[in-house]
Amino acid sequence: MAGAIFPVTMPKWGIEMQEGTITDWHAQLGQHVEKTAALLDVETDKIVNTVESPVAGVLRRIVGATGETHAVGALLAVYADASVAEAEIDAFIAGFRPADASFEPADSAPTVALDTPPAPAPRSTEGEPHVSPIARRLAEKLGVDLSGIVGTGPNGRISKEDVEAAAARQVPVIAADDVNRSTRARMSAMRLAIARRLVESKQTIPHYRLEITVDASALASRRAALLGGGSKVSVNDLLIRACGLALVRNPALNAHCEGDDVITFERADVCVAVATEQGLMTPVVRGANVKSVQEVAAITVDLATRARGGALRREEITGGTFTISNLGMYGLDRFDAIINPPQVAILAVGAARESLVVRGGSTEAGSVMTLTLSCDHRVVDGATGAKFLATLKELLQEPSAL
């Protein structure tokens, strides 16, 4: 790529992606980066992807700093030959306009050849310091006077970090007793994606909820028998298996609502809500209706472990047909869950708790569990949701088939 300036832009992964957050740079300024080498990590829609270098070249400018969120197509970095002047790179950055919202291969990405006259550099004002575009924008936002900053970049160039340091020095000192100290942090890309989807769900889906109490004594016995036989199975694994069977018997809930269309699936791909430090993730157990509970258990352990480590692939968190959210381990008796669009229902599972139950006309000590089903009333009528819960209750109270 000698003799050219090459832009690196925010890639687009999937039709729903609008922006991404830079979590790490693997290359440093001035470094020669080989084609396909890891260049930076971008967090988007609950997962972190590594952007590979689209060409081989020298990384001359990093426009997007770690922790910043940029729209798809935004300029993140610039490659250029060592012979390219800083002013020419400044002019390229100032005049850059994203051509599209995709991350194209190197042979189709735009470049600026240096054998043609470069775009004129922005007119400089006498006495104005040499400053990067992102630092200039930040200074305007924070009200920092650039003339009082000594740049630490190449040739005394003022960087974003220089502006941030100057802004910190401008903050007045306030006595500790007079202020309640606080911190402000931008939501992560994952948390922003979760927030958007939940707002969309609550604003566009007419939720209603159905609740049923299940005698969980037989379920506990079934799990104990499996554990005794060497199978490491949780109550949640049994619930996933039971939901898989109940969904194929009640296919109206094993569906997506997309615009005016309802898509009903033959296979039950059950999402399992997993709490991570970054936010809630819902990896998918494919074909829960045809897998044994032991197979479900092995899959859920693997998915949950990799979810908490941020190592899930995109295909492992998309395409689910139904979701289970279990907060019973936190001692909650019952709760409501918000539907994960385009799915049409979600099951909230409370804790198994000791209670008196009626069996064969007599009352005895037992264990019960409350299940709350949230349904999309556009697609699932009350009677349809109730039938699903009745099927699920039967499977859980007579779990020999699980």
- The set of catalytic residues is 377, 381
Determine contact, residues 9/74, Cβ cutoff 8 Å. Answer: yes
As a residue count, the chain comes to 402
Token pair, residue 2, equals 């000698």
Sign of the torsion angle spanned by Cα atoms 131, 134, 137, 140: negative
**Cβ partners under 8 Å of residue 345, min gap 6:** 253, 322, 323, 339, 373, 374, 375, 376, 380, 385, 388
Strand, coil or helix: 280: strand
- Cα–Cα dist 66/152, whole Å: 18
Give strand ranges (E) for 162-217.
207-215
- Cα–Cα dist 66/184, whole Å: 17
- Cα–Cα dist 96/111, whole Å: 11
- Cα–Cα dist 340/271, whole Å: 10
- Cα–Cα dist 77/134, whole Å: 12
Q: What is the dihedral of CA 263, 269, 270, 274, to 10 degrees?
A: -110
3-class SS shares of the chain: helix, strand, coil, % to 5: 30, 25, 40
